[in-house]
Each structure stands twice: as structure tokens, then as C-alpha cells.
Amino acid sequence: MNNKDHKNAPESLMMSYGYKPELSEGAIKPPIFQTSTFVFKTAEEGKAFFEVAYGLRNKGEDEEQGLIYSRINNPNLEILENRLCLWDQSDDCAVFESGMSAISTVLMEFLKPGDLLVYSSPVYGGTDHFINHLLPRIGVESVGIRADHTKEDIIEMIEETGKADKLAMIYLETPANPTNAVMDISMCREIGDKYKTEDKEVVLAVDNTYMGPIWCHPMEHGADLVMYSATKYIGGHSDLIAGAVLGKQEHMNRVKVLRTFLGNMASPNTCWLLTRSLETLKLRMDQQMQNAKAVANTFKDHELIHKVHYLDLLEEGTRSYDIYKRQYSSPGAMISIEVKGGEKEAFKFLNELKLFKLAVSLGGTESLAQHPCSMTHAGVDPVAKIQMGITDNLVRLSIGIENADDLIHDISQALIAVSKMNEMAV
């Protein structure tokens, strides 16, 4: 085998890529560069760094962007961004102080007054709020589409707005939180291309928090931009808030310039924690998925459970199953279950869990359970909520890295408590 042709997998590069120990006293791990500003060798150098950072000229062929000021760049930020690029094979990455700041920066950069936005529904509550309450203030109209809409349905909905020529962005979150409904990324690429013109692109942006960066690479399916709440799987330890955007260079240049002026980049300390998290990202996510599979399969026919929503339980031959197989390399580690009964039964179940913690958020090493109808999606319109399948008996589980048998035991004993409560009521 030719050594030169060998390409290391991302998980092999997470411990070293983009960091030169000789620049930091030989330290095996990058120190935290807790500094606001960087000393220029000469005034000419400072001028050259700013020219590139502010887009006054393109970077020369072998030129590297020099360090200026920690709102613009910082070694911890750059090492992290370079490593994140490896998973999605993107040109560039920008890390933010939260998932919401990553998402809102993308929406603000690529939408302007008069534009039309198409977005998948349900989306994360914060995203929903930004789209439905903040974007209208700057004159951006939006249309929500669901997983059960066909390509023809969506085109009809776009035409009905009378603003089809103003379509500027399609924004997807898939699988949907909390129902695990899957959206077809490549179909949305085709819809976007139908409405692009010579002087107007239609940007396809995908929130890949649930599946990435390991199990889905949206750019392979036609996405222009990929967004993450790095608070979730990427951080993975429920001890930080962060976000990331990845994509092609021309789009990322715009994202990074807006980030510079909004000042919503992640701090050196947060970046350092995320760099540490990346070393175990694949290990953690794979274990979480194995555990989720075991949990979903154990409870799929349980007498106290109406339905388990998990990608591996999708029926072969359905449209959702086809999208799942085409788009994802794993069923993921998020499960939603419908407990038989209503809010009372769902709450009893949640209150009886011991190993699972009752908390929102997801993707961390510890398993979490929550009630979307009254918690993460409490603000969603009640009628729309039912259409999306966010019922009062739905419980969302984020599966962690604990022993699978212990997780199964915990769910079993909580279900027994629910049945005892019901027996007593009879």
C-alpha cells in the first residue's frame, strides 16, 4: 500500500490535527490561549492581517490568517474549527457561543427584508421563536413544511405565498425534535434549485444537531450550510453552551464576517473544552446509539407503551424509511415514547425514573428524559402541536453512555409504578 495515499479517519485526527506542539513549549495538548489580543511583529504585518480579516483582499496562496484579536480569531477557536471541518468535509467552520447564535447569525446573513423563508416544522423552540417573532420584524415571511408534505405540496405552498421569486432560504431540522420525523434534504435541494436565478441563490441550511457530525453529512445531500448546537453531542458532557456552522468557503466568509461584528464567537475556554470533547465524540455517539437500539427494541411492544418513535423501528417500504436509509448511517440515540394514557401517566413515569435525569437538553453522556408538550415545546401553538404529534403522553429520551441493562431496568421500574398507580385508581 502506498503510504502517501493513506488518509486518516477523523477520529484518528481528533487528538492532534491543527495543533503544533513546538509552538507551545512542546505541550502535548493545546494550552488555553486566555488572551484578548495578539502582538504583531511589525506594523506591516498588522496591516496585512487586517486586510485579509476584513475581506479587503483575498488571502495569498500560502498565506495564513494571522492572529489579531480574540473576537476575530484565537488559537483555541481555530484548532477546534479545523477539527470540526474534518467530519463534514467542509471548507470552513465558525464556532459560536451557542447553537442559537449560530442559527440566528445564518438567518440574518442570508435573509433580507422582502425575502421568503421555507422551514421544516417542528423545529427547536428557540429557532421557531426567531423565525416567527423576530424575522417578521425585519420583513421576512416564512412557510412551515412538514415531513408528510410531498415535493408537489411544498411547491404549491411556496406558490400560494405569491412570493416564490423571493425564496431565499430553505431551513431544515432533521430528524425533527421531538418526534424523529425525517425531512428529505436532497428533495429540498431540488426545490431550492427550481427557484434560484442567475442573481439569487436559494441557500439550503440544515440543523444537524440530532445526527451529526457522525451519522449524517448534509452537504453530501446538497446542503450549503450545516449548523449544530455544540451544546449537545459535540460537547457531550452537559457542561457548556456552544454552536457551529460549516459550509463552503464563499458562504462561510459571510458567516464569519457577521460573527466578527456581532461578537458572538465562543470563548477560548469553551473551545478548549470542545476540543477535548471531540477526542471521544465517535466513541460516545456510537455507544449512545447502541444503548438506544437496545432500549427501543426492548420497549417497542410493551403493554404500557402506545408507540416508540425511533428511526430503527420505521417500517420498510415507507417514504420515511427510504429517507432514513439514504440520509443516515445510524438510527441515532434519541427516542420518543408515547406512554399509554395522558399527562398524568407521562408525569408519573418521569417522576419515577431514577437513573434517567428529568431535564431538557440532549446528547450528553447521561440519559435524560423530558415532556415536550409542557416543557421544550410549551410555546408551540396547541393545534400545530397535535399536528406535529407532540401529544400529552409523549416523553422524549436522550440516551447516554450508561450500561444499557441499567437503563432498561430504570424504564421498566418506572412503567411498573405507572401501572400500579392506574390499578389503584380502578
Ligand X SMILES: *Cc1c(COP(=O)(O)O)cnc(C)c1O
Taking the least distance from each CB to ligand X, the nearer of 232 and 385 is 232
Give per-residue burial for 352-372: e unless 16+ CB within 10 Å, then b: bbebbbeeebbbbbebbbbbb
**302 near 261, Cβ under 8 Å?**
no
If binding is defined by CB under 6 A, does position 229 make contact with ligand X?
Answer: yes
If binding is defined by CB under 6 A, does position 98 make contact with ligand X?
Answer: yes
Binding residue (CB under 6 A) for ligand X from 142, 177, 179, 288: 177
Stretch that binds ligand X, among 97-105, 108-116, 143-151, 313-321 (CB under 6 A): 97-105
Cis, peptide link before residue 122, omega less than 30° from 0: yes
Taking the least distance from each CB to ligand X, the nearer of 98 and 142 is 98
| Rounded Cα distance, 212 and 229, in Å | 10
Stretch that binds ligand X, among 60-68, 224-232, 298-306, 331-339 (CB under 6 A): 224-232
Residue 236: CB minimum distance to ligand X, A: 13
Binding residue (CB under 6 A) for ligand X from 83, 232, 256, 259: 232
Taking the least distance from each CB to ligand X, the nearer of 127 and 260 is 127
Closest by CA position to 341, among listed 392, 386, 301, 279: 392
Taking the least distance from each CB to ligand X, the nearer of 242 and 296 is 242
Binding string, residues 115-154; x marks residues near ligand X by CB under 6 A: ---------x-xx---------------------------
Q: Which residues have C-beta within 8 Å of that of residue 259, sequence separation ≥ 6?
A: 94, 96, 105, 265
Taking the least distance from each CB to ligand X, the nearer of 253 and 361 is 361
Residue 255: CB minimum distance to ligand X, A: 16
**266 near 97, Cβ under 8 Å?**
yes
If binding is defined by CB under 6 A, does position 327 make contact with ligand X?
Answer: no
If binding is defined by CB under 6 A, does position 18 make contact with ligand X?
Answer: no
If binding is defined by CB under 6 A, does position 218 make contact with ligand X?
Answer: no
Taking the least distance from each CB to ligand X, the nearer of 76 and 229 is 229
Binding residue (CB under 6 A) for ligand X from 13, 187, 241, 262: 241
Binding residue (CB under 6 A) for ligand X from 84, 95, 100, 289: 100
Taking the least distance from each CB to ligand X, the nearer of 126 and 222 is 126
Residue 14: CB minimum distance to ligand X, A: 21
Taking the least distance from each CB to ligand X, the nearer of 270 and 345 is 270
| Rounded Cα distance, 385 and 382, in Å | 5
Taking the least distance from each CB to ligand X, the nearer of 341 and 364 is 364
Residue 363: CB minimum distance to ligand X, A: 8
Taking CB positions, which residue lies at the least distance from ligand X? 99
The C-alpha cell 427547536 sits at 124
| Site for ligand X, residues 372 to 411, rule: CB under 6 A | none
Binding residue (CB under 6 A) for ligand X from 10, 30, 75, 99: 99
| Site for ligand X, residues 22 to 81, rule: CB under 6 A | none
| Rounded Cα distance, 326 and 329, in Å | 8
Residue 207: CB minimum distance to ligand X, A: 5
Taking the least distance from each CB to ligand X, the nearer of 121 and 127 is 127
The CA–CA distances, whole Å, from 263 to 105, 246, 420 equal: 11, 18, 54
Binding residue (CB under 6 A) for ligand X from 209, 275, 277, 330: 209
Stretch that binds ligand X, among 129-137, 228-236, 288-296, 411-419 (CB under 6 A): 228-236
| Rounded Cα distance, 212 and 330, in Å | 10
Q: What residue ranges bind ligand X (CB under 6 A)?
A: 98-100, 124, 126-127, 173, 177, 207, 209, 229, 231-232, 241, 243
